[in-house]
């Protein structure tokens, strides 16, 4: 990735700098529709998203989730020095740069050229020039059994229609005994309103309603899609892709952390989980 100018997405922006949604629905959305919409949404949203969350994400830091769990403390990936690592859905790639600083041989990929443009700038600013690829999580441009580790911090998996296919791709590129760790929206977030206020913790939809959340523009075209899976769905997807599910981590809110991030907040985080971390491996 060489250009540092974000692409024009053509999506109208709201007063907050994010793409303006003309309508919201819960309905089926396939892989092509999801991928196309989310690529354009993240291209358009990248400046606003990074202005809002960039200081928390850091330039070369590994934040697993809004609860504040960092890989420097959790070490869910184990010792990364000298290991070949792929980050899936890297955004501006702070996690990949942190991994590089820890001695990993890392490559980072994202579907959004807008996010990767910022990653190029931060590579230069930090002097940690990790290789960047624009690619879909369901078609990793990597050789079979070429990676020791794979990771994804809210990157890709919540936005794909076929999670098992993505997980199968991860299993393909990992060597025997490889490790994959990914953080996703906790399925318990789905039935509640998208609000950080604990007073809003009232069930308004079914946990078992797997229809995606879809935003459309003023003409009815899809601009954003987020998919829901239950905890059991995630476990079956991991196992069905040929991976071994080693752990399910539900991070608690970090003491003293005051950031509010969308639906996540200290008050709400004290009551219900907001993030699920899948810790997986390939059979040795």
pLDDT in tens, 39-63: 999 999 999 999 999 999 999 999 9
Residue 191 has, within 13 A of its CA and on its CB side, a CA count of 12
Q: Which two tokens stand for residue 146?
A: 């070429």
Domains by residue range for the chain, with CATH: 23-281 (3.40.50.150)
The pLDDT score that the predictor gives to residue 225 is 97
Nearest in space to 80 (alpha carbons), one of 97, 55, 68: 97
Instruction: Kindly give, in sequence order, each residue whose CB lies less than 8 Å from that of residue 219, ignoring residues fewer than 6 positions away.
Output: 22
The pLDDT score that the predictor gives to residue 1 is 42
Q: Which two tokens stand for residue 10?
A: 């053509």
pLDDT in tens, 114-168: 999 999 999 999 999 999 999 999 999 999 999 999 999 999 899 999 999 999 9
The pLDDT score that the predictor gives to residue 2 is 41
């Amino acid at each position: 990735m060489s250009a540092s100018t974000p692409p024009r997405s053509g999506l109208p922006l709201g007063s907050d700098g994010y793409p303006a949604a003309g309508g919201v629905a819960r309905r089926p959305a396939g892989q092509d529709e999801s991928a196309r919409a989310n690529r354009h949404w993240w291209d358009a949203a990248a400046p606003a998203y990074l202005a809002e969350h960039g200081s928390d994400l850091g330039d070369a830091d590994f934040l697993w989730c809004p609860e504040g769990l960092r890989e420097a403390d959790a070490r869910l990936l184990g010792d990364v020095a000298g290991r070949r690592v792929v980050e899936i859905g890297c955004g501006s790639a702070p996690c990949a740069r942190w991994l590089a600083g820890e001695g990993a041989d890392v490559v980072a990929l994202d579907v959004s050229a807008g996010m990767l443009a910022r990653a190029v700038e931060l590579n230069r600013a930090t002097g940690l020039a990790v290789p960047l690829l624009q690619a879909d999580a369901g078609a990793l441009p990597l050789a079979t059994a070429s990676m020791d580790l794979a990771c994804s911090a809210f990157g890709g998996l919540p936005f794909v229609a076929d999670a098992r296919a993505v997980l199968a791709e991860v299993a393909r590129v990992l060597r025997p005994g490889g490790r994959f760790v990914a953080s996703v929206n906790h399925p318990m977030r789905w039935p509640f309103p998208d609000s950080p206020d604990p007073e809003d913790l009232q069930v308004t939809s079914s946990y078992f309603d797997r229809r995606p959340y879809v935003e459309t523009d003023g003409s009815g075209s899809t601009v954003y899609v987020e998919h829901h899976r239950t905890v059991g769905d995630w476990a079956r997807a991991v196992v069905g892709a040929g991976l071994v599910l080693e752990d399910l981590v539900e991070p608690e809110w970090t003491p003293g952390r005051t950031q509010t991030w969308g639906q996540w907040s200290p008050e709400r985080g004290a009551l219900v989980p907001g993030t699920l971390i899948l810790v997986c491996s390939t059979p040795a």
